[in-house]
Amino acid sequence: MDQQYEIATFAGGCFWCMVSPFKKLNGVLDTRSGYTGGHVENPTYKEVKAQTTGHYEAVQIAYDPKVVSYETLLEVFWRQIDPTDSEGQFQDRGSSYKAAIFYENDKQKIKAEASKKALEESARFDKPIVTEILPAAVFYPAEEYHQDFYIKSPLEYMKDREISGRDEFIKKYWGDKQLS
């Protein structure tokens, strides 16, 4: 029996922090940290971090659409980022840490645009929503030590997450409604 799945790709700053909220969802089959949207083939973490490849740090999610919808993935995404920051995310600055939704097809594009519009209309944020919605590009998996980093290196992950300011931001704007 073949498993039917779809792909969703999101950039939300440090990819370490973007994996666990999605991995917890029923219907998510796999998550991968990696790089997308740039102009260099097979970039390394060092190259991407140096802001020379045009890539975003991103997470790619394989999911079963019969169990978890793309709309739910979008909700989780929006609740992990600062959608008003065009210069990066939290402590991570620069183009490789900008937030973006990379759509795989027209259906995802329409849903992503509708979710962005709904967030703008909610007036939850007092600044404009600047998160980009871009066509999917080649996705290069990050080095193995980055995969499931929060599981492999929980102390380093928690320390990095604590100093980032991400959790305080999420709590301020989403409170107990956070889906992660």
* Interval 2-16: pLDDT, tens: 568 999 999 999 999
Q: Does pLDDT of 173 surpass 80?
A: yes
Topology adopted by domain 6-174? Peptide Methionine Sulfoxide Reductase; Chain A (3.30.1060)
Q: So what's the pLDDT on residue 180?
A: 43
Q: Does pLDDT of 179 surpass 70?
A: no
* Interval 91-101: pLDDT, tens: 999 999 999 99
Q: Which residues are catalytic?
A: 14
Beta carbons within 10 angstroms of residue 54's beta carbon: 16
Q: So what's the pLDDT on residue 3?
A: 64
Where along the chain do its domains lie? Answer: 6-174
Rounded to an integer, the average pLDDT of 64-78 is 98
Q: So what's the pLDDT on residue 50?
A: 96
> Could you give the C-alpha distances from 148 to 96, 97, 151, 167, in angstroms and in order?
19, 18, 6, 19
Q: So what's the pLDDT on residue 1?
A: 41
Q: Provide CB contacts within 8 A for 143, sequence distance 6+.
A: 44, 45
Q: Does pLDDT of 77 surpass 80?
A: yes
Instruction: Please answer whether residues 97 and 88 qualify as being in contact, where contact means their C-beta atoms are separated by less than 8 angstroms.
Output: yes
Sorting pLDDT into bands at 50, 70 and 90, what band is 60? Answer: very high
Q: So what's the pLDDT on residue 74?
A: 98
